[in-house]
Structure 1
Amino acid sequence: MTSHHSDLLYGLEDRPRPLPALFAALQHILASFVGIITPPLVIGSALGLAAHLPYLISMALMVSGVGTFIQARRPFGIGAGMICLQGTSFAFLGAVLSAGFIVKSRGGSPEDILAMIFGVCFFGAFVQIVLSRFIGKLRRIVTPLVTGIVITLIGVSLIKVGITDLGGGFNAPDFGAPGNLALGSLVLATIILLNRSSKPWVRLSSIIIGLAVGSLAAWFSGKLVPHALPDLPLISVPLPFRFGFSFDWTAFLPVALIYLISSIETVGDLTANCMLSRRPIEGPEYVGRLKGGVLGDGVSCLLAATFSAFPNTTFAQNNGVIQLTGVASRYVGLYIGALLFVLGLFPLIGAILQQIPKPVLGGATLVMFGSVAAAGIRILSQAELDRRSLLIIAASLGIGLGVAAQPTLLHHLPKLVQNLFDSAITCGGLTAIVLSLLLPAERPTTSAEPLLGKH
């Protein structure tokens, strides 16, 4: 141990020996593995992409590994130079599913759907790359109030996906069957109970254990009948734009908005990481890490779209692992990246995970998506909730959730408008941004001024 920090076993620039570094890296992977593979499982289930799921899961793990390696190594100033585990972002699920359903409604094949998704995500990554150069100004436009509203809308929108899987999945003939509800409830209860444990690693493993318990129960009840694994190559070979390349403005704009919000989320995660790693949270070094970290996210997303993975972001839960282990060494990030890349090489992993029954997956994703909404509410609680803020929250949630609840509301408007604004995230998010810019901030009331209701 070479660190001079009393509360860190290994500081940011310390080099742990291979065995401790490997053990610390495995704990980070344990905390993030489910988060990386769940979005491909959810998107594949909703859009009918089962044939391509093993490859999509492999690419998700592989790109996460490369992105994490870049963040830790910081080549050419790309990356924060810290343990910033890159994982598939839940924030993009609603916008990605919306893009997929646009193509599906036109009669597009699974390959057409993926070409559109990765096309719009590819160009969307440049939004984040450009924004990384203007982090200071961006934080003044997209405030915690706006960020909290959008993240809350993302979580609430995704809950429908989780509860649908819990019931059996889209168009399932046994949707809502008692067996499905029991399995989903078992997984949900297991995750909740384990999260109340006083042991940190039980909490970190709660989702993996919940999925394992649910799959075991499904096997005993006959809901999980293991199928013969498909004839897959031993190694997944990353191919650029394997499914082609397509673009549509109506699919792009919601994705671009989420890239904007994701950049602000990354700033918060990087700030927390700096604090845990005992690095400055102001001054040139801090600003440099923010710019490099958001740029690293953008480059990671660019690689993801190129090699058939969904958009990435810096995972917040891995800050908790740094705090629990006392290991902040960025060299551990290199081990994490290498291990994730190796895991992604084998499509057999994706084929096995694909067999998890929908109710089991739904029980886990329901609490995960609920956690997204709860994170948004937590951010809102930290903003100053004066009359102006409450009005912005009310209008944004009302418009966003209202359009999502009544999708035929816009059916008399041009198709372009329908496709752009039929998403709760787009409608609510744009409403929050516009109102925040237009409505002047309230002037603080002084003791000499009369208060409302006092005479």
Structure 2
Amino acid sequence: MQDQSPVELLYGLDDRPAPLPALFAALQHLLASFVGVITPPLVIGAALGLGEQLPYLISMALMVSGVGTFIQARRPFGIGAGMICLQGTSFAFLGTVLSAGMLVKSRGGGPEEILAMIFGVCFFGAFVQVLLSRCIGALQRLVTPLTTGIVITLIGVSLIKVGITDLGGGFKAPDFGAPRNLALGALVFLLILLLNRSRQPWLRLSAIVVGLAVGSLAAWVSGKLVPQPLPDLPLVSVPQPFRYGFAFDWTAFVPVALVYVISTIETVGDLTANCMLSRQPIEGPGYLERLKGGVLGDGISCLIAATFSAFPNTTFAQNNGVIQMTGVASRHVGLYIGALLFALGLFPLLGAVLQQIPKPVLGGATLIMFGSVAAAGIRILAGTRLDRRSMLIIAASFGVGLGIAAQPQLLQQMPRLVQNLFDSAITSGGLTAILLDLLLPREHGEPAAVTGARRV
């Protein structure tokens, strides 16, 4: 079945645009995704005290995103979807990655030990996605849109606390909640909202970039941003495998593995939307092979990320909007995007400059970005059949997940393993949703799962 979308394609999937139009289209994808790629390292670095490591982490995030995007477009050995599937640092993993880092920090570990644990569990977690790529059909029957929507909503709600903390000035900041901090955060927040309501596609695509730039300028004028001398960094970042070592802990791994499962389901939805926009079949063996290759490409991208000190990647949904806006679906443009991202990642000074963005400015932007994650989960839930059984599962999952997140002392008398596994709203609420969806009897005539594609 072919999509009957009114979007006219200037360049189809296998067309080869001339270098100049291809480069211009690639720059638009870069504009839509750049902030999304670099924000998770900035948030994680600030929360875990990884200031010295941040320039390298940002460089690796950009370089790995470039390599992953190139693989998805080129599809070597059947790895990748063979489409414009921009790989970027996933917000979905932020909560579990921060939990893993805090686990090491509570044991007295320093930045290198924290990163060794994070990249260790993410490395093994990527094999979960690689294995799931071989059994997409069975996975869709096991993890339904209902459970996916619940987990994504919980991820967004959990991250909002991080965004609002930055907006106030940062964790344990001496001027937390100062009027200047709130004013800067509110300026960025409102500017992004207004630009997103613009009728100009370019303004909508660049809303977060413009918001951060204007917010940083306002912070400089108000004295909140005092540019610091750039550190003595090498001109070019050289990727080093397992630069910070390698560690593993089951209590940190299980939540990460669960998010890999949910991320896989999300990728299936994004790939389906991409197929529709690219005028490719959305059923049949060819479609299934494209899904398997795309999810496998995500998994391989995450393996490369963990090996070279980048956080887990995923297929960015916002770039489907760029395809729709430009009418350029050529996978060859994906090769240009990959090359541009890789080139940006070569220069660690870029990360050192971005590191100086004041926390209130970053918080104003991330508050909307994290809220958008929760809104995406609600949108998925709205597309499911919300009968009494579904509402009961939603209520129980939110009650358990958000309840434990609000009162973590509830588990203080439980074994350390139980505390570490279930003190996250994502893990406790997500597992509650999956178990109840599997165990609660369905009403008469109710289908086992609704596996329709996410709306574009």
Q: Which TM-score band applies after superposition, normalised by the shorter structure?
A: over 0.9
Q: 1:409 deviation in Å?
A: 0.2
Query: What is the TM-score of this pair, normalised by structure 2?
Result: 0.96
Q: Which residue of 2 aligns with 1:153?
A: 154
Q: 1:6 deviation in Å?
A: 8.0
TM-aligned CA distance change 1:416 to 1:229, over 3 Å: same
Residue type of the alignment partner of 1:110: P
State whether residues 129 and 260 of structure 2, in contact with CA within 8 Å, keep that contact through their aligned partners in structure 1: yes
Distance, in Å, in 2 between the alignment partners of 1:364 and 1:53 is: 19
- Helix, strand or coil: the match of 2:133? helix
Q: 1:201 deviation in Å?
A: 1.1
Distance, in Å, in 2 between the alignment partners of 1:268 and 1:441 is: 24
Distance, in Å, in 1 between the alignment partners of 2:155 and 2:240 is: 31
Q: Which residue of 2 aligns with 1:403?
A: 404
1:12 aligns with 2:9: no
- Helix, strand or coil: the match of 2:251? helix
Q: 1:441 deviation in Å?
A: 1.5
Unaligned runs of 5+ in 1: 446-455
Residue type of the alignment partner of 1:326: G
Q: Which residue of 1 aligns with 2:269?
A: 268
Residue type of the alignment partner of 2:291: L
- Helix, strand or coil: the match of 1:243? coil
State whether residues 7 and 327 of structure 2, in contact with CA within 8 Å, keep that contact through their aligned partners in structure 1: no
1:71 aligns with 2:43: no
- Helix, strand or coil: the match of 1:216? helix
- Helix, strand or coil: the match of 1:235? coil
1:166 aligns with 2:160: no
Number of aligned residues:
441
State whether residues 90 and 313 of structure 2, in contact with CA within 8 Å, keep that contact through their aligned partners in structure 1: yes
Distance, in Å, in 2 between the alignment partners of 1:440 and 1:131 is: 26
Please give the residue correspondences for 1:263-412 in structure 2 after superposition, counting only pairs within 5 Å. 263-412=264-413
- Helix, strand or coil: the match of 1:400? helix
TM-aligned CA distance change 1:6 to 1:119, over 3 Å: closer
**What are the superposed Cα offsets for residues 63-117 of structure 1, whole Å, 9 maximum, x if unpaired?**
0000000000000000000000000000000000000000000000100000000
Q: Which residue of 1 aligns with 2:28?
A: 27
Query: What is the TM-score of this pair, normalised by structure 1?
Result: 0.96
Residue type of the alignment partner of 2:260: Y
Residue type of the alignment partner of 1:149: I
- Helix, strand or coil: the match of 2:52? helix
Q: Which residue of 1 aligns with 2:135?
A: 134
Residue type of the alignment partner of 1:152: T
Q: Which residue of 2 aligns with 1:448?
A: none
Distance, in Å, in 2 between the alignment partners of 1:326 and 1:124 is: 36
In terms of Rg, which structure is larger?
Answer: 1
State whether residues 7 and 277 of structure 2, in contact with CA within 8 Å, keep that contact through their aligned partners in structure 1: no
Distance, in Å, in 1 between the alignment partners of 2:214 and 2:224 is: 13
Distance, in Å, in 1 between the alignment partners of 2:115 and 2:172 is: 21
**What are the superposed Cα offsets for residues 101-155 of structure 1, whole Å, 9 maximum, x if unpaired?**
0000000010000000000000000000000000000001111000000000000
Q: Which residue of 2 aligns with 1:109?
A: 110
Distance, in Å, in 2 between the alignment partners of 1:340 and 1:400 is: 36
- Helix, strand or coil: the match of 1:15? coil
- Helix, strand or coil: the match of 2:314? strand
**What are the superposed Cα offsets for residues 235-287 of structure 1, whole Å, 9 maximum, x if unpaired?**
00000000000000000000000000000000000000000000000001100
State whether residues 146 and 384 of structure 2, in contact with CA within 8 Å, keep that contact through their aligned partners in structure 1: yes
Q: Which residue of 1 aligns with 2:449?
A: none
Q: 1:216 deviation in Å?
A: 0.6
Distance, in Å, in 2 between the alignment partners of 1:338 and 1:444 is: 51
**What are the superposed Cα offsets for residues 193-245 of structure 1, whole Å, 9 maximum, x if unpaired?**
00110111100100000001100100000000000000000000000000000
1:124 aligns with 2:125: yes
Distance, in Å, in 2 between the alignment partners of 1:358 and 1:258 is: 27
Distance, in Å, in 2 between the alignment partners of 1:88 and 1:238 is: 17
Q: 1:444 deviation in Å?
A: 4.3
Q: Which residue of 2 aligns with 1:43?
A: 44
- Helix, strand or coil: the match of 2:311? coil
Distance, in Å, in 1 between the alignment partners of 2:23 and 2:159 is: 35
Q: Which residue of 2 aligns with 1:418?
A: 419
State whether residues 7 and 324 of structure 2, in contact with CA within 8 Å, keep that contact through their aligned partners in structure 1: no
Distance, in Å, in 1 between the alignment partners of 2:431 and 2:363 is: 29
Q: Which residue of 2 aligns with 1:96?
A: 97
- Helix, strand or coil: the match of 2:135? helix
Q: 1:35 deviation in Å?
A: 0.1
Q: Which residue of 1 aligns with 2:3?
A: none
- Helix, strand or coil: the match of 2:219? helix
State whether residues 59 and 345 of structure 2, in contact with CA within 8 Å, keep that contact through their aligned partners in structure 1: yes
State whether residues 64 and 305 of structure 2, in contact with CA within 8 Å, keep that contact through their aligned partners in structure 1: yes
- Helix, strand or coil: the match of 1:87? strand
TM-aligned CA distance change 1:293 to 1:6, over 3 Å: closer
Distance, in Å, in 2 between the alignment partners of 1:216 and 1:433 is: 46
Distance, in Å, in 2 between the alignment partners of 1:131 and 1:189 is: 40
Q: Which residue of 2 aligns with 1:201?
A: 202
Q: Which residue of 2 aligns with 1:452?
A: none
- Helix, strand or coil: the match of 1:313? strand
Distance, in Å, in 1 between the alignment partners of 2:287 and 2:202 is: 30
1:250 aligns with 2:238: no
Residue type of the alignment partner of 2:353: I
Q: 1:440 deviation in Å?
A: 1.7
